[in-house]
Structure 1
């Protein structure tokens, strides 16, 4: 089992963010592909996560849950570390990669000191999501590629190929 990164060895610090509450900001250059930190916390069932973070009582969405698999979510608020402060962005500089029972945050690109670390949360989008859900899961990343929500992008329907006759070929 990988050891937790000692606080002094972390390449970032936590401070106020323009995206959301507090965020993680690079204190030194982070190279593409570099493992930054493991997302840690209590491993619980999705039902327990729903109980702990009852969305109907929230004015806007806010949890520290990360889905590990169909049966397990990690609650970063309980037993978690500084990784829980890495905010969402639609144009992120980091990515979360699941490796067995672990979730690691890696740099996707070169990150300069002072830059906020972000990854795309890609919350599960259900067919029954409404416009109100889009607003509840609003994104505040402010990037040119912002899709306005932390929900995963809608799945694109594949265009059907036209037959040769319909394209004007015989």
Structure 2
């Protein structure tokens, strides 16, 4: 992934809820197949990946339910906003992902969509396991405790 100091690096959409709802075991950068109007719409920052997920079907990796707003200037040549989009990944990585989600409770969650240093749209997906309510409370308690520690260290 490109560094944030890179002038071409730009986050398009981020799934902040994913780290709260899931334990992220590993992540992977993948390419995404888009039409021209989708890329134009992404450049204006009109997208949402919070409700989307990735799935392996027929030996291919797909992004399902990701929202990319319609590009008004495209007119008739526009795109469907919530269509399934193919994700580009090597066969070796696809096999690893297939094996990972084969375990009980595992899923593929999109974490960040961004333009890399070459101006290409990339998606970072995570192999994740859902959290229980108690786990979410524990995460919130740890976060609050860390904030409180930082506050105390600043004061004294």
TM over 0.5, yes or no?
no
Report the TM-score range of the alignment, normalised by the length of the smaller protein. Answer: under 0.3
TM-score w.r.t. length of structure 1: 0.25
Higher strand share: 2
The structure that has the greater radius of gyration is 1
TM-score w.r.t. length of structure 2: 0.26
